Amino acid sequence: MLVVAFIQWWYGPGWNDAARRLKNHIRTTYLSFSIPILLATLFEPWKRIISPPGASLQDKFRALGDNAISRAVGFTVRVMVLIAAVATILFYAVFGGLLLILWPFLPILGPVMVVGGLVL
């Protein structure tokens, strides 16, 4: 009776639950890395560090250089975080997808390994 209940759960709600958890992991990762915000602020200065232009031409060029460096740092950091986010999401998608594909065969794997171990 317990084996029948396990099989009914495994190939029904268990499989659906595994797919739902994979979807939630990918969504949580997407939101944790704040991908929409990173994309929207890709060319913004790093931590809003902006030098106001001064009165003289030299101060204006210095502010322009400082602001360009701040934007370059912001762009670089955000691109690195985006790369980490994409790598993490790909990791979940590949290995989670593989788990979902192999899900029907996992209950059989235990007995097969036991029999295979006894035979060898």
Render pLDDT for 55-105 as a digit per residue (tens, 0 to 9).
788 888 888 888 888 889 999 999 999 999 999 999 999 999 999 999 999
Cβ–Cβ < 8 Å for 49, 70: yes
pTM of the model: 0.76
